[in-house]
Amino acid sequence: MHLTLNLTDRCNLVCSYCYARPGTQDISLQTACKAIALLAGKTNCGIIFFGGEPLLCKDLIWQVIDWCESVSPNVFHYKVTTSGTLLDEGFCRLANAHRLHIALSCDGIRQVHDRNRRWPDGSGTFDQVLDALWILLAYQPYAPIMMTINPETVGYLAESVMWLQSEGVKYLIASLNYAGPWTDKTLAQLRSQLLELAEWHKENYCSGRKFYFSPFDKRIASHIFPGRGYRADAACVRSL
């Protein structure tokens, strides 16, 4: 059972493909605890911190975790998804101490990432995210990296995936921007890039190099083990 807490609708970035509407509200500790209390009696419960940019609420994250451990020690596990622009070594150190798993958003090489993931002044966030990536992998080597595949940069997909692996990434979750302006041309590019990656991924597997790439591995697993990967989400609690 998983519970997603949208800690805030605030964000320090203006990513062009983001579906969320920026706002000014944060969830309260009281609301978060009431939502988590609905899981009473459950075992192996996941708490996912989301946003907005959840690291704008770092103190709240630790408060929620402390409350969870005070009422039901070792029942919960925790995850946060972040743009990485506010991630530092201190947060990673505390995350490991509190069993908080971190997922980092990175769309690939500089010209791909900076095409959509930007600061409010229009400049790209690649340099800050790369620094965060190195720090994160030092503390959590198998941290999942979240990639969004967009039609305007799909021609760099294979290069971006291979680059992320070269930087030490072992677990990559890549998702299509389904709302993007896909055309027959860009869909053909997507097919070509995936075919190239398929050959590369097979070489990785045969060579014993550990690298999880969700578009392939998740579907292989679900084919071998029907129903694998199903997850029941209790709720998605937004800022109040």
Inter-residue contact 40 to 58 (CB < 8 Å): no
CATH number at residue 122: 3.20.20.70
pTM here is 0.90
Whether the bond between 52 and the residue before it is cis, its omega within 30 degrees of 0, is: yes
In Å, what is the CA distance from 81 to each residue of 168, 181, 221, 236? Answer: 19, 26, 24, 14
Dihedral Cα 156, 161, 163, 168, nearest 10 deg: 170
CA 98/CA 64 separation, integer angstroms: 11
Which residue bears the tokens 């975790």?
Answer: 65
Quote the tokens at residue 224. Answer: 């071998």
Q: What percent of the chain stands above pLDDT 70?
A: 94
Which structural domain range is residue 38 located in? 2-237
In Å, what is the CA distance from 80 to each residue of 95, 105, 112, 199, 235? Answer: 10, 11, 23, 32, 16
For 45-86, the pLDDT digits (tens) are: 899 999 999 999 999 999 999 999 998 888 899 999 999 999
For 129-142, the pLDDT digits (tens) are: 999 999 999 999 99
Number of domains in the chain: 1
For 147-179, the pLDDT digits (tens) are: 999 999 999 999 999 999 999 999 999 999 999
